[in-house]
Structure 1
Amino acid sequence: MSFNCLFLFREITKDLCRHKILLFQSWFQGLVVLCLLVFVICLALSDNALLWSKRFSLHTQYYLLFNQIYQARAPAYRVHPKHKVTLNTINETTESSAVQPEGVQYHQAYPSNYQFVMDNAEVCKNTPFLVLMVPVAPKNIAARDAIRQTWGKDSVVNGEVVLTLFMLGLDGGADVEKLKQENQQHHDLIQSNFMDSYLNLTIKTMVIMDWLATRCPTAAYAMKVDSDMFLNIDNLVFMLQTPGIPKLNYLTGMLMWNRPVVRSKNSKWYVPEEMYPDPQYPTYTLGMGYIFSNDLPAKFVEVSEYIKPFNIEDAYIGECMKRLGLSPTSPPNPSQFKAYNSKYNRCEFSKIITYILGSSEQLINYWTDYKKPGPHC
């Protein structure tokens, strides 16, 4: 008997609870309807009713468009506070070095935001087969001189015209007059008014692409190659002369597959999710040196306007390729693209295309030995 009473009491309690919930839902729905009704009446009586309607319509259209083009035309990214760069020593400032009111520094990678302050557009009049573009710090004269004495020395390689140029940004500590004198002597410096720093390598790379697209569009191929590289230019030109090498939409080098985005703030390769939300980069070519057909720079510049930039320049180029619906191509002989070597070997250096070195002195020493008479192996 007590069990039945308890059961009955529970059922009555449940019914009361359900009844209260239904009453609350009805009351809440009624309140929402009433609020909407009051809002519509006020809106109808307002002189600005049409304006509100237009705003709502435009907002809806903008939201849909925003999602369709993946935050298009938004080239600004936030730099982590740890990586902020002091701008007090730089006299000339650009949009790339603007400090927002909140004190957070922003950069823009789209190259049309910058202008060339030193140029050598006439060097492409002879239509080079290959243009070597070397990003280098303004102060690093030693690296430029070492390259001029070694793999950047010859203007004709295997019967093809080869051009070597150096891309610089602004550096408050660099001697402007010395740079001008250096350029008057060698005619191989290009300088743009972005701040030259490690974090701005993506900007530097995109300015390189812009220069190739606007100053040297008739070249067949180009290479972005770091200043600390041993480059076997003979093997590189021979590779590009190989039958079957594409003349369009071609990007090759040491391919990087399935590389995770570094999220550790202690790493120099740190990229926050707000810059690049995907956990993994698309396939890209390692930034030490990658070769591309010279139709690609204009395409990179165009698509970069719609890609939120991040500070890993080689992976950024991989993202540009992905957005263009293209993929990097494995070189004919992948073993020719090497990153580091344990020690110099004359025979091995005669077979490769790239090696990362430790210093400019090392480059000169290795090159001198490599070019001496006699068989390499």
Structure 2
Amino acid sequence: MARRRLKLVVTVIVMVNFFIFIIISRHGGRDKAGRRRALVPSRPFWARLVPDPAYCNRQQQILDLRNNRVLAANYSGAELPDWLNDTHLTSDPCRPNLRVTTQVKDYNSLPERFKDFLVFMHCRSYPVLVDQPDLCREPPFLLLAVKSLAPHFDRRQAIRQSWGRAGAVANRTVVTVFLLGEAAPGDHHPDLSGMLRYESARHRDLVQWDYRDSFFNLTVKEVLFLEWVQARCAGARFVFKGDDDVFVNTYRILDFLGGLSAPRARDLFVGDVITDAGPHRDKKVKYFIPESLFTGAYPAYAGGGGYLYSGDLAARLRDASRRVALYPIDDVYTGMCLRKLGLAPEKHKGFRTFNIEEKYRSNPCAYHSLMLVHPRTPQEMIQIWAWLSSPDLKCQ
């Protein structure tokens, strides 16, 4: 009897709530005369943007507004705040943006590398001085894109003789390209333009743009490369991008890529991933970023020594880069572009951007299962490649 009474009570409560719901749904949106009335929210769904005091954050706010039609509709042209109406982001040709000198509160006290970056931060297009339009006439399975500097001929030559050898490796087509900017006289580099012309004519693997090749401009190189890939090598199945002082086990990379499923291959982005990081505030650190430039945490990103991703993702990264404000640290910037796509890099233990234990460095088998080791001299690159290419090498 107790169970039956409990069941009856529960049934009655459910029915009462059901009828209340029907009554509210029929009359909740009606006025006293029974006519339907529009339910107007008490405040706008999209809150108005408040300018971020950090300059890079603020430039991202501007880009977000321009690429969000719903948010942009919250403002009429007459009431658009001056900080959101910054036309210097898209200026062409690239002229120095001198407004930034008053928009960054501590601009005058910043090191010269920051001033140079900030004044030209809006510029994303530079003339091509040396190009290789036929490099990918036959779409490669793997494109090896190496960031280099004009004076680093010995590194490039060592890569050509070792892990960057063009042609067929393990029955897969591999193509190598070196990415250069200009060695500016202000950085006290000797004039090597004649040697570069000879090197390009001999090897046909250099791409050079007319911009100042500096540490903070590595992000510019990243953006220019993503545009170049879509123009010259859009058919590449996979892309490795790294520095010219790393050793890459091309055999291992090709083996890894050959075993991927189609869904994983499409969104592939692997490397030595760094998480829960943020800007360094110590001025003595190479990666120092002042609070006036950026605040907040970094997204997960792969160390710039080298990472591997799909050709399909290269096209999407190019599109995302147009919606992400330039940032002076290139690997962090790439992580920002991935975040914009709703993706994150995948950590792979084969990428050792912080080297391996010293006791293993002279052991050929230590490199057998790795994809990348940083750093390595030109001589070490050639030595390790000889080890891995030897048919006598036996590793468990």
Question: Could you state the TM-score of these two structures normalised by the residue count of structure 2?
Answer: 0.69
Q: Does 1:146 align with 2:153?
A: no
Measured at CA, do residues 73 and 319 of structure 1 come closer, stay the same or move farther in structure 2, by a change above 3 Å?
Answer: farther
Deviation of the 1:105 alpha carbon: 5.5
Residue in structure 1 matched with residue 240 of structure 2 by the alignment: 223
Of 262, 267, 282, 1:264 maps to 282
Give the counterpart letter for 1:317 in structure 2.
T
Task: Provide Cα deviations, 1:236-259, integer angstroms capped at 9, x if missing partner.
Answer: 011111131533232111111111
Correspondence for 2:393: 375
Check conservation: 1:254, 1:290, Cα contact below 8 A: yes
How far apart, in 2, do the equivalents of 1:130 and 1:336 lie? 18
Which piece of structure 1 moves more, 284-293 or 161-170?
Answer: 284-293
Aligned partners of 1:80 and 1:329: how far apart in 2?
A: 40
Matches within 5 A, 1:315-354: 315-330=332-347, 334-339=348-353, 340-341=355-356, 342=358, 343-354=361-372
Deviations 1:241-281 (A, max 9, x none): 11315332321111111112212122110122333221x21
1:110 Cα offset (Å): 5.5
Please give the secondary structure, in 1, of the residue aligned with 2:216. helix
The separation in 1 between residues aligned to 2:394 and 2:278, in whole angstroms, is: 39
Partner of 1:58: 77
Q: Check 1:177–1:65 CA distance in 2 against 1; reply closer, same or farther (3 A cut).
A: closer
Which secondary structure does the structure 1 equivalent of 2:155 belong to?
helix
Measure the CA separation in 1 of the matches of 2:153 and 2:109.
Answer: 31
**Which residue is equivalent to 1:136?**
148
Superposition deviation, residue 73 in structure 1 = 6.3
8 Å CA contact retained: 1:72, 1:305: no
Tell me which residue corresponds to 2:51. Answer: none
Matched residue, 1:180: 197
Determine whether 1:84 maps to 2:103: no
- CA displacement 1:165-203 (0-9 Å, x = unmatched): 100000133321110110110000000111111121111
Give 5+ residue unaligned stretches, structure 2: 1-74, 185-189
Counterpart for residue 259 of structure 2: 242
Aligned-partner Cα distance in 2 for 1:194–1:65: 28
Distance of aligned partners of 1:292 and 1:346 in 2 relative to their CA distance in 1, 3 Å threshold: same
Q: Does the 8 A contact of 2:90 with 2:123 survive in 1?
A: no
CA distance in 2 between counterparts of 1:257 and 1:110 reads 29
Residue type of the alignment partner of 2:159? I
Question: Partners of 1:81 and 1:190 in 2: how far apart?
Answer: 35
Q: Does 1:307 align with 2:319?
A: no
> Is the aligned partner of 1:106 residue 2:134?
no
Q: 1:98 to 1:181 in 2, by over 3 A?
A: farther
Relative to 1, partners in 2 of residues 1:116 and 1:109: Cα closer, same or farther, differing over 3 Å? farther
Deviates more, 1:305-314 or 1:315-324: 305-314
Rounded Cα–Cα distance in structure 2 between residues aligned with 1:346 and 1:358:
14
Partners of 1:110 and 1:218 lie apart in 2 by 27
SS of equivalent to 1:108: coil
8 Å CA contact 2:89–2:123 kept in 1: the answer is no
Match of 1:363 among 381, 384, 389: 381
**CA separation in 2, counterparts of 1:64 and 1:197?**
32
C-alpha change, 1:308 and 1:152, in structure 2 (3 Å) is same
Using the size of structure 1 for normalisation, the TM-score is: 0.72
Tell me the amino acid that sits aligned with residue 136 of structure 1.
Answer: S
Partner SS, residue 335 of structure 1: coil
Counterpart secondary structure, 1:240: helix
1:161 and 2:173 correspond: yes
User: Could you tell me which of 223, 228, 250 is aligned with 1:206?
Assistant: 223
**Cα deviation, residue 360, structure 1:** 1.4
**2:142 and 2:174 in contact (8 A); partners too:** yes
Where 1:194 maps in the other structure, the secondary structure is strand
Q: Return the letter of the residue paired with 1:264.
A: D
Q: Report if aligned partners of 2:242, 2:305 keep a CA contact under 8 Å in 1.
A: yes
1-structure distance, mates of 2:123, 2:350: 32
Between the two proteins, the alignment pairs up a number of residues equal to 299
Structure 1 unaligned residues grouped into runs of 5+:
1-55, 86-96
Counterparts in 2 of 1:109 and 1:123: CA distance versus 1, 3 Å: farther
4+ residue segments displaced more than 3 Å: 63-67, 71-83
Shift of 1:116: 1.1
Q: What secondary structure is seen at the aligned counterpart in 1 of 2:230?
A: helix
1:66/1:325 Cα in 2 relative to 1: closer, same or farther (>3 Å)?
Answer: farther
